[in-house]
Copies of this chain bind each other. A is one copy, B any other.
Amino acid sequence: MVLSKSCTYGLLASLYVAKQGKNKNEYVSIRQMSDELNISFHFLTKILQKLTKTNILVSLKGPKGGVALTRAPQLITLLDIVIAIDGPDLFTECLLGLPGCGIQKPCPVHERWAEAREDLRVMFQGKTLADTSHDVEAHNLRLSLPDLIRK
């Protein structure tokens, strides 16, 4: 899997927050979000804590509490979220997992993969929450996980 489950949940939740919070200065309830996205509440909470720690979200406890974006969704890229949750390894590490792989001592697929992973990085960096959220509305795209997760 390219992205961890935590990371995909974090992306879906961030898109949800971007959409919900658009014209309201309100915190988005994690409980409601977990219900609508079909993600375990406690698990989602833990993931979102990573996003608050990296200053992508702010949270508020108590009634009317929840999470909100720290800045405009135009200023948050999908790359920000991926790195906050999964770390930068996907965009820096050797495909074959060889430590020290690089220009000096490349692995057999170093060059090819270096290009591919840079493309991937550009793709994530080129899409903001605003862009993506707009696409979601424009094309009525899905965010939620299906009830049955069996494949």
Chain A interface (Cβ within 8 Å of chain B)? 1-3, 5, 8, 11-12, 15, 78, 89-90, 95-101, 105-110, 112-113, 116, 119-120, 123, 127, 132-133, 135-136, 139, 141-143, 145-146, 149, 151
Contact = CB atoms under 8 A, between A and B. Distances in A.
A106 B141 contact: yes
A116 B99 CA distance: 25
Given A2-B95, A11-B96, A108-B135, 6 more contacts: A1-B97, A15-B108, A98-B145, A99-B149, A99-B151, A119-B119
A97 B1 CA distance: 9
Given A90-B2, A119-B116, A120-B116, A109 B127 contact: yes
